[in-house]
Amino acid sequence: MNLEEIIRDYPILGTNKTLKKYKIGFQRLKKIVEDNNLHKNSSVDFNRVEIIKDEVTAYILGLLWSDGYMSKTTNFLGIECLQSDMIYFKDVLDKFANWSYYTRKREHNIMVNAALTDKRFHRFLSDNDYLEKSYKSPNKIISKIPPDIISYFFLGIVDGDGCFYFNKKNYIRHFVITSTLGQDWTSIEKILLGIGVSYKIIKRDSKTKYSQIRVTNKSDISKIGNFIYSRIEIDNIGLRRKFEKYLTIIE
């Protein structure tokens, strides 16, 4: 492995092509990127971030808030999910930026990572609290998203951290968004109240620490679905398995 060549090529090739060319593992490449403060040439059309006005951008910003990861020392960021989910995410992700993709096996699952390195976009996310998203509310980024597409931001949140649950035998219907014990739910509460949804905030400070926003009323779950899924058959933005689970709840 020629370190100088990797340092030279990474800004041009990006993560996926560098991995293939030099046949090294992702964690090794990540360390090289961080140690040498490398960044890939701009991957994001920043015009769509400076003035947010399209559904894809709003959705990606929600997905990154719920399920994204960011380096604190470099401009590296990404999203990891099940291979079966990435089938639905990839088309939308590729409309937003030039991502690099790689797979890894975790226990019995095949995981896919979508990664990119972009200095301006990383700074934009950092300025809007994405490095503190495990406990802050997304007030800053929501203030930049027009009201008519805020449902796509919320859909991104749901696809990352949300869950529809239905136990037909016991007539149990739940919609939950799960996060850390110290999560500030203010912005999510405002969205739910804005569409007339009643909810509870659950906190569990035991061996597994977490907090949840939980909705258990079929009518209220239907309001959430109408809010985030009204155009899923038209624009194909959204995780299909969660949409199908939602349909079983309201049928």
Share of the chain above pLDDT 70, in %: 98
Q: How many CB atoms neighbour CB 173 within 10 A? A: 21
User: And the tokens for 125?
Assistant: 């996310």
Q: Poorest-confidence range of 1-15, 58-72, 81-95, 149-163?
A: 1-15
Q: With CA atoms as reference, report the closest residue to 115 among 21, 39, 23.
A: 39
Taking the C-alpha atoms of residue 54 and residue 239, their distance in angstroms, rounded to an integer, is: 18
The yes-or-no verdict on residue 205 having pLDDT over 70 is yes
Stretch(es) of the chain classified as CATH 3.10.28.10: 152-250
Q: Kindly tell me if the per-residue pLDDT of 131 is higher than 80.
A: yes
Q: Domain 3-144's class? A: alpha beta
pLDDT tens profile 33-55: 888 888 666 578 888 898 999 99
DSSP SS3 for 39: coil
Say what the pTM is: 0.83
| Rounded Cα distance, 57 and 59, in Å | 5
pLDDT in tens, 222-241: 999 999 999 999 999 999 99
* Tokens found for residue 199: 């909810």
Taking residue 219's Cβ as centre, other Cβ atoms within 10 Å add up to: 11
* CATH number for the segment(s) 152-250: 3.10.28.10
Q: Residue 101 has what pLDDT? A: 87
Q: Is pLDDT of 25 > 90? A: no
- Please tell me the total number of residues recorded for the chain in this structure: 251
